[in-house]
Amino acid sequence: MFSLIEERGFMRVADLSNIFGISEVTVRSDLDHPDASPRIQRVHGGAMVRDGRSHVEQTFEQSEVASADEKAAIGEAAAALVIPGESLIIDVGTTTTAVARALARRRDLEDVVVFTNGLTIAAELEPEIPRISVILTGGRLRPRQHSLVDPLAGLILEQVNVTTAFVGCTGVHPEEGLTNINLPEAAVKTLMIKAAHRVVVVAEGPKLGRISVARFADLADVDVLITGPSAPPELVNQIRDRGIATTVTE
């Protein structure tokens, strides 16, 4: 149980109960036991890695299956913010790909322009051309995430001025802000934030409280955070206390 929590960073009590075939009462008892792993911290509804740091980058395909339903709900909530005629930036990532899928289902949207550094984002939106225009940033391809990074990735982003940027990350922390697990993508995220009037961060619950190696923005740079029900309520409240409009999907 503890090794699974350490691997994923956060696990809900209900999910641990289902995986191991034991009652939720037993799960809570095991988590509270004096012999429990010192790296595990009990939080409301589950448990997370105590130091909150994430160091191992998963592939896009590995990440896509984790919290899939939660990502889909986040994507729907994010896509609902878009109106016809908007210009957008959609960052690379599995949660932002859920945003792109939800946008594609918005049959009411016309004349929307999307800049992206994610090949998966472009593939999701390609069938919706011409009502949604798709512009790739260019740059060096990172196969692990199907992302485009420097050199050249910043050339377009430094010249555009969009309505909204939907940005993903590896960690959202009340003190440390937004972080990512790799430096090349983090640098592009910083440019995306600078190019947008409104910054919407999409991050499933386990990412709240995590800190990764590459810090690319302060919480003050964020206008909206959309997360899911696995997010620890105390962290959600701390982020709201810093003036960030935070939506927790069902």
Residue-wise pLDDT for 235-245, tens only, equals: 999 999 999 99
Token couple for 208: 């709240």
Q: Could you tell me the pTM of the whole model?
A: 0.77
Residue-wise pLDDT for 19-70, tens only, equals: 899 999 998 888 888 777 776 777 666 776 654 444 566 777 777 767 789 9
Domain segments of the chain: what residues? Answer: 2-49, 60-248
- The third-level CATH classification (topology) of the domain covering 60-248 is Rossmann fold (3.40.50)
